[in-house]
Each structure stands twice: as structure tokens, then as C-alpha cells.
Amino acid sequence: MKNRKRGFSLVELLIVLAVIAALIATITPVALNAIKKSKATQVAQNLKTLASAFENAAYVDNEIKTDKNLKDYGRDVSDSYYIAYTATSGGKYTVWVVTTEKTDINIVNDILKGAFEVSPSDQTLSNYRKITTSSNADPASVSVAKNSIAYTFTFNLY
């Protein structure tokens, strides 16, 4: 009878390590892509939720209440989101829902048609009111940071 040592040989350990390394190398890009897509989906959903909540609140209250902040429109809203809006005398509202979160705009636009990355020419919104997580700003020129992601819409309040 041969006297064989217990345990694994060096070759067996190296083969197992090579298989594990190959699996990790295969799975890592897939996992990173899933994380990227989930972040973009979250941003798109937050933009749409805030837009819908703002419009619904305007219809229910029959006006835009100036004492509200962004937390009144959506739960767990981070400071990287805000709403800028203005109204004409006929009750037509133009609304921008903006985030400064960094994510892939192409994925966001696939999920939320009409979302766009803000260009330098879009940076100033004269006479817009800004609703943030802390307070509602006075009417003034609202600056939109370059490379922010925005979703705009209009509606009429009768």
C-alpha cells in the first residue's frame, strides 16, 4: 500500500484558483452593468415620480403651494433633486425636474422618454421657482448645473 499524504496537491489548488479567477472575470462586467442600469432606472423613476406628484398636487390643491418642499412630493428624495417651475397668466405651468446625480443618460432616456442631459444653453431658467428638499426658493433666475439630467413637461391648471 502506498502511503499517500492527505490534502490537495499544488496543481489541484492552482486549477481551482484559475477556475475561480475565470468566473470572477466573467461575472464582474455583468454585475457592473447591472449596477449601472439599476442606478439609471432609479434616476428615471425618481424624475417621473416627482413630475407626477407635482402635477397631481397642483390639480388637487388647485394651485402650487409655496410652503411645500420636495419631501412633500416624494419619499426618500435626496438633495440632488429639485423642481423648477413657472406659470403663465393662463394657468399653463412649465416644469423642470432636475437631478445632479451622475448616471448614463442613454439608459435614463430609454426608460423615461424626454429626459435629457442639460447643455450650457439650458442652464438659466429666468423667473422660475425652485423647490428643493429644504425650502421653496424665491422667483429668480434658477441655474441648472451643466451635465444635470432633466425632465420637462407642461400642464394647464384650470
Question: Lowest-confidence range among 6-10, 19-23, 143-147?
Answer: 143-147
pTM of this structure: 0.80
pLDDT at 77 over 60: yes
pLDDT at position 44: 95
pLDDT at 143 over 80: no
Task: Please enumerate in sequence order all residues whose Cβ is within 8 A of that of 58, keeping only pairs 6 or more positions apart, or say none.
Answer: 64, 93, 155, 157
Q: What average pLDDT score do residues 23-39 get?
A: 92
pLDDT tens-digit profile of 92-118? 999 999 999 999 999 999 999 999 998
- Enumerate the domain spans of the chain: 10-156
pLDDT-derived band at 135 (thresholds 50, 70, 90) equals: low
